[in-house]
Structure 1
Amino acid sequence: MAAKKPTTKAKQPTTATVAATDGATETVATTDASPPSPNTAEAKSRFNAALDEAKAGAAALGDEAKLRASQYRDEAKHRGEDWSAEAKTKGRELADEGKHKASEALSGLSRVIDENAPTLDEKLGAKYGDYARSASKSLQDNARKLDEKSLDELADDSREVIRKSPATAVGLAAVVGFFFARLFR
């Protein structure tokens, strides 16, 4: 009679699916074919609960980050508006000051020309002295008009002149640009 071989059950590899922290699943081969123990079920349950808690925490952190970003954006917007208002106010003050200084410069130039008109009468003739007095009077009138007008009126007048004669406006801008370039060189 043939001897009976003892039957041993070979361990067959089994697979288990494990959830990773990034939400993906991974299949892992195990060699234990024994039925899961109650501790394994409890461990899986705790692992899943921890995973759910981590997801909830991440969602809460994301919501908090969005709230803070919104607050920072609002604060930056208000500061930008404040700075913009301050810049406009300061720019307006500087423009008024520049307008006043330009008016003073025209008046000063008018006085210099008027003071030199008698010298022109003596050296070149009364005709050139009268031209100088006429130019002085014109400069004085323009200085007075410049001082009396507001910046808005000056801007409207400038737009009207540019609309009527764009070529002259471009030429004048080039001359003024050249003058400032030479002045600040």
Structure 2
Amino acid sequence: MAANDKTNETTSAVPLTTDAAGAATGSAAAAGGGAQEAKSRFNSALDEAKAGAQALRGEASQRAQAYKEQAATKGSAYAEQAKAKGGELAVEGKHRASEALTSLSRVVAENAAKVDDNLGPKYGDHVRNAARGLQDAATHIDTKSYDELGDEAREFVRKNPGLSVGIAAFTGYVLARMFRR
């Protein structure tokens, strides 16, 4: 058996290794074309890595586009829901403002008789006119749509900027005083 072992031995002093394909290769220093072959394999591995990175980039881009479209769709749906809910709340707020003006008009009209007794009929007429004005404002708010009211408010501000700033300042002052307590 010792004789058979010697015939199967290789006489090369270069250690053999196997590559990814399972082929036996020697070290680059021992083989004359080994350095060239190593460079070739390194370049092919590098090209393969670049191709893999390119494929991953393409896949990531496709996924990002899909997520972007999905987010846009959901965003549009949420925007529509918010717009509908905002419209409902605006109509409800308009109705409540109208009711508040109507209630205030009734209170002012009820107190007109007391003003007649205490200050005279001239001042009582002013109070009744104010009550009618409040009732007319309530009716106006009730009959107009939210968009029409917004347009009227913008037009008023364009025509009367000084008065608009004064009203805003007074309203802010009153609200600040109410919430301070």
TM-score by length of 2: 0.75
1:71-82 superposed matches below 5 A: 71-82=66-77
Deviation per CA, 1:55-92: give whole Å up to 9, x if none: 11011011111111112222222222222222222222
| 1:130 partnered with 2:128 | no
Give the alignment of 1:64-75 within 5 angstroms.
64-75=59-70
In 1, are the aligned partners of 2:98 and 2:139 still within 8 Å (CA)? yes
Q: Which residue of 2 aligns with 1:91?
A: 86
| Structure with more helix by fraction | 2
| Aligned residues of 2:105 and 2:132 also touching (Cα < 8 A) | yes
Q: Does 1:50 align with 2:45?
A: yes
Identity %: 54
**1:182, distance to aligned residue in structure 2 (A):** 3.0
Structure 2 runs not aligned, ≥5 long = 1-27
Q: Choose the corresponding residue for 2:111, options 98, 101, 116.
A: 116
What is the aligned-residue RMSD (CA, Å)? 2.3
**What is aligned with 1:107?**
102
How many pairs are equivalent? 154
State the one-letter code of the partner of 1:76.
A
73-82 or 91-100, which moves further after superposition? 73-82
Question: Do the aligned residues in 1 keep the contact of 2:115 with 2:124 (CA within 8 Å)?
Answer: yes
Q: Which amino acid aligns with 1:87?
A: A
Change (3 A) 1:84 1:96: same
1:183, CA displacement in angstroms? Answer: 3.4
Where does residue 137 of structure 2 map in the other structure? 142
Quick check: which one's strand share is greater? 1
* Structure 2 Cα separation of the partners of residues 183 and 70 of structure 1: 51
